[in-house]
Structures are given as C-alpha cells and as structure tokens.
C-alpha cells in the first residue's frame, strides 16, 4: 500500500510517496528537490538539473554528481508529474498531512499540526494542498523553460553561495569579482565587474520579489552578491542597507537578515563602528575566504591578503556583533604546501579567541580551475596535486583537529552549488 505523506510549509510542498520517492516543489509549482531510489535530484532556477549519488571507491563511500542533459531533465519532470497524477491525486484523501506554520500557510491551531488523513485537516489546509498540487501539474516543460528565461533576465550568472545560503533570496548588488585574479578561482572570469547603482538595485529587488511570488517564504535570508558585494565604500554600503532593510522587512518579515562574502583585503580597512552600523541595519554574517593561514600558500594563490589582516578583520567583525563563516581551501597547493597549510591553518583557527557556536568553519575541497594560468603555474613550480582520496583524508584531518571548537565545522563543496 502507498505510504503517502504531504508536508505543507511556508513557500513549499513536499510529497512523500514512499521512503525512496520524496519530491519537493515551491509554492509556485517549480520542482527543486527530489529523492528517487537512492539518487538526489536538484533543479536550479535556470532549469538545470543535477543528480547526486554515492558509489564505493577504495573501500569508502564517495559522493558523485553530474548535470542532466535537456532530454533527461524533461523525462524527470514528466516522471514527477506522472507519479503525482497516477499515485497522489487518486489517493489524496488518505494522505497523511504535516504542516509547518508560517507565511502563506493557513492557520490550523496549535502545533503539532499533524493529521493522519488529509480529509481530517481543516478545510483551508485541504484547499491549500489541492491548489498547490494542481499548480505543480500546470508547470509543464514549456512553463518551466519560460520561467528560466525570466530568471536569466533578472540575474546575471551566479558564481557561488555558501551552503547555508542556498535558499537565500539573492540580490546582485555587484556583478562579478573586483579582484578576479586568484589563481584557484575561475567562477567570475567571464563576468565583467560592475557596481550597480542604487536605483538599479532597488528595481532588481522588485523584479526578484515578483519572480519568486508565492514561493518567497521558502527564502529565509537575503544574500548580497556577487563575490564581494561589501567592497563598496562605507557611505555607499550604508546607504544601500538603509534602503533595502525597510523593503525587506515589509516583503519578508521572517527574514533572518543580510549575509554576504567579504575579502580580507577590502574588509580590513573598515573600523568596528562601521560594521556595527551595518549590523544595526540587519547584516548578520560575513563569509571570509581565508583559504589558508600559511602565507607562502596565500601568495602562491595570488590573494592580496595576510594572516595578520585576516586575524584583525575577524576580531573587528566579532566585536561588532557579527557572525562569521571562514572558508578553508583543502588541497590547494598540492603536496608542496600540504603540511604547512594544515599546521598553520589549524593553529590560526584554534588560537582565535572570539569564536561562537553561531559561527561556521567551512572546509572546501580544492577543485582545479579551468583557467590556463593555474595549470601553467602548477607545471612551472612542479606542484604535484593531491588526489581526490588524499583531499578527503585532509578534510578528515582538519575535522579531527578542529572538532572541539565552538563553531560548526562542515563541508563546502562548490560543485554542489545550484541556485
């Protein structure tokens, strides 16, 4: 017998047909996540699909991923819709319902909001579920392709987000990366850097809000993009948040605040008082690409920063009351830098005195960029890269060395990113 469960939550509906088939759609009807028979599928708003699975390699379980072809993507959407039509709609009356209260979800009394059968739930909830399911089934391939076209009109290509911000509402305050010379990164090489004027940012915000529509409550925070949006002059950044904050409070009263990347070499020039002003306006966490605390490796990676600069920036941010996410690049510099990178970075992180549980240390496995400069430098300096297996071992070494620090230490694989 079909073990049918429904989970209605702010901005989304998840349908579980059985333990090996679980599908999630936003409230506009877009599929964004599916589990099918041990494989995970993710859809980006640009209508690309990624499939992730695990396979055994050298006696350990290794995560693999690839993008679906357009034909495979069409087949997947058709399969999801077919399962809903053939198995969910005919059995809807006996589906178990779980409700997470919040914006866009009809009120249904005190928690826990659980009903063994949808037919026993309050009428507004039944109606909300039925309307969402029918909306999902109306979103055929033509609609999804047109929706992706609208997305590409609103957004220029997004390079990356921190994993805890994959469901943020992204605002492209800047486009591209103002430095764009790091040896290890090719995320923004084809995107000319540009600071968007304030009126354009505000127009962009309104277009973004319209695009997400009923699905807006799925977005819990606001991420200021692209690579280093807060490289702006102090007055300009302050003015930006002064204009954005009231509109976000109006449109997303549930928002957890503003988040953004920050480079050490632009962030360290600002005093604590400046960061306190931004925190007062809703800035909550900044993500710092430390990469390494071994200065010869930092120079080899062509990042114009120092360990001392990173230390002082982190202290100022913590004094201002902000949370930080510190990113460590595991495997960068190959075997030549392997041990000093590990020793100096662990020492730096363990010595930092202002950690809090709300902070994050991200361990990001190094992915060789496509840019020719990197490969030329590797050959010229006779760098022997770490293998995937060796990088996984390094990640475990970092995890063991940092396991007792207050911040959460977790994985950040840039290859998993899909907005």
Left (φ > 0), alpha (ψ -120 to 50) or beta: where does 172 sit? beta
- Name the pTM for this structure: 0.95
Left (φ > 0), alpha (ψ -120 to 50) or beta: where does 394 sit? alpha
Rounded to 5°, the CA angle 299-163-52 comes to 110
- Considering the chain, what is the average pLDDT of its residues? 96
Other residues' Cβ atoms within 10 Å of the Cβ of residue 343: 13
No. of H helices and E strands in the chain?
12, 18
CB 230 within 8 A of CB 260: yes
Average of per-residue pLDDT across 59-84? 95
Residues in the chain: 419
pLDDT at 399 over 70: yes
Other residues' Cβ atoms within 10 Å of the Cβ of residue 369: 16
pLDDT at 1 over 70: no
Helix (H) or strand (E) holding 329: strand 323-330
- pLDDT band of 78, cuts 50, 70, 90: very high
Q: Which residues fall within 8 angstroms of residue 204, CB to CB, at 6 or more apart?
A: 154, 171, 172, 196
Other residues' Cβ atoms within 10 Å of the Cβ of residue 344: 19
Other residues' Cβ atoms within 10 Å of the Cβ of residue 2: 14
Integer Cα distance of 186 and 168 in angstroms: 23
Tens of pLDDT, residue by residue over 358-371, are 999 999 999 999 99
Integer Cα distance of 332 and 414 in angstroms: 14
Predicted confidence at residue 208, as pLDDT, reads 98
pLDDT at 9 over 80: yes
Q: Closest by alpha carbon to 82, among 38, 34, 116, 131?
A: 34
pLDDT at 351 over 70: yes
Q: How far is the CA of 418 from the CAs of 32, 154, 159, 413, in angstroms?
A: 10, 16, 10, 11
Average of per-residue pLDDT across 238-265? 97
Tell me which DSSP letter residue 86 carries: I
Counting beta carbons within 10 angstroms of the beta carbon of residue 193, is it exposed (0 to 12), middle (13 to 18) or buried (19 or more)?
A: middle
Other residues' Cβ atoms within 10 Å of the Cβ of residue 304: 14
Q: Which CATH number describes the domain made up of 155-416?
A: 3.20.20.70
CB 380 within 8 A of CB 372: no
Integer Cα distance of 313 and 265 in angstroms: 9
Predicted confidence at residue 2, as pLDDT, reads 73
Q: Closest by alpha carbon to 76, among 46, 39, 28, 129?
A: 39
- Sign of the dihedral through C-alpha 188, 41, 105, 210: positive
Q: Closest by alpha carbon to 191, among 227, 166, 217?
A: 227
Predicted confidence at residue 219, as pLDDT, reads 98
pLDDT at 336 over 80: yes
Average of per-residue pLDDT across 290-304? 96
Q: Which residues fall within 8 angstroms of residue 269, CB to CB, at 6 or more apart?
A: none
Other residues' Cβ atoms within 10 Å of the Cβ of residue 384: 10
Cross-strand bridge partners of residue 222: 169, 258
DSSP, residue by residue, 204-228? HHHHHHHHHGGGGGG--SEEEESTT
Predicted confidence at residue 58, as pLDDT, reads 77
Predicted confidence at residue 262, as pLDDT, reads 97
Q: Closest by alpha carbon to 287, among 313, 321, 324?
A: 324
DSSP, residue by residue, 18-85? ETTEEEEEETTS-EEEEEETTEEEEE-TTS-EEEEEEEEETTEEEEEEEEPPHHHHHHHHHHHHHHII
**Domain definitions of the chain by residue range:** 5-144, 155-416
CA torsion angle for 346, 350, 354, 355 (degrees, to 10)? 80
Tens of pLDDT, residue by residue over 200-218, are 999 999 999 999 999 999 9
Tens of pLDDT, residue by residue over 109-125, are 777 799 999 999 999 99
């Amino acid at each position: 017998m079909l073990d049918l469960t429904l989970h209605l939550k702010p901005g989304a509906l998840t349908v579980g047909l059985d333990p090996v088939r679980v599908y999630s759609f936003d409230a506009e009807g877009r599929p964004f996540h599916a589990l099918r028979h041990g494989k995970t599928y993710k859809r980006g708003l640009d209508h690309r699909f990624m499939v992730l699975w695990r396979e055994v390699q050298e006696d350990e379980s290794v995560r693999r991923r690839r993008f679906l072809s357009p034909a495979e993507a069409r087949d997947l959407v058709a399969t999801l819709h077919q399962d809903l039509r053939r198995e969910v709609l005919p059995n809807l009356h006996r589906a178990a319902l779980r409700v997470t209260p919040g914006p866009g979800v009809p009120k249904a009394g005190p928690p826990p909001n659980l009903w063994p059968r949808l037919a026993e739930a309050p009428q507004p909830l039944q109606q909300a579920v039925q309307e969402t399911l029918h909306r999902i089934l109306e979103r055929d391939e033509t609609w999804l392709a047109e929706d992706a076209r609208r997305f590409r009109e609103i957004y220029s290509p997004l390079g990356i987000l921190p994993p805890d911000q994959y469901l943020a509402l992204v605002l492209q305050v800047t486009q591209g990366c103002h430095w764009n010379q790091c040896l290890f990164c090719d995320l923004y090489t084809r995107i000319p850097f540009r600071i968007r004027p304030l009126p354009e940012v505000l127009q962009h915000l309104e277009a973004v809000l319209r695009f997400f529509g009923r699905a807006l409550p799925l977005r819990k925070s606001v991420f200021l993009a692209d690579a280093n949006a807060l490289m702006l002059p102090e007055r300009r950044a302050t003015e930006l948040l002064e204009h954005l904050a009231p509109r976000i409070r109006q449109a997303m009263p549930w928002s957890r605040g503003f988040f953004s990347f920050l480079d050490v070499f632009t962030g360290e020039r600002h005093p604590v008082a400046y960061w306190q002003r931004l925190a007062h306006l809703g800035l909550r966490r900044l993500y710092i690409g430390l990469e390494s605390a071994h200065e010869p490796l930092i120079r080899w990676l062509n990042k114009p920063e120092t360990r001392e600069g990173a230390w002082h920036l982190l202290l100022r941010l913590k004094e201002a009351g902000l949370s930080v996410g510190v990113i460590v690049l595991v495997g960068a510099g190959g075997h030549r830098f392997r041990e000093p990178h590990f020793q100096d970075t662990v020492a730096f992180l363990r010595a930092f005195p202002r950690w809090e549980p709300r902070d994050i240390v991200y361990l990001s496995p190094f992915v060789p960029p496509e840019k020719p400069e990197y490969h030329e430098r590797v050959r010229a300096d006779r760098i022997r890269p770490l293998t995937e297996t060796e990088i996984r071992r390094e990640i475990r070494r970092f995890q063991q060395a940092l396991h007792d620090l207050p911040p959460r230490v977790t994985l950040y694989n840039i290859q998993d990113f899909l907005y």
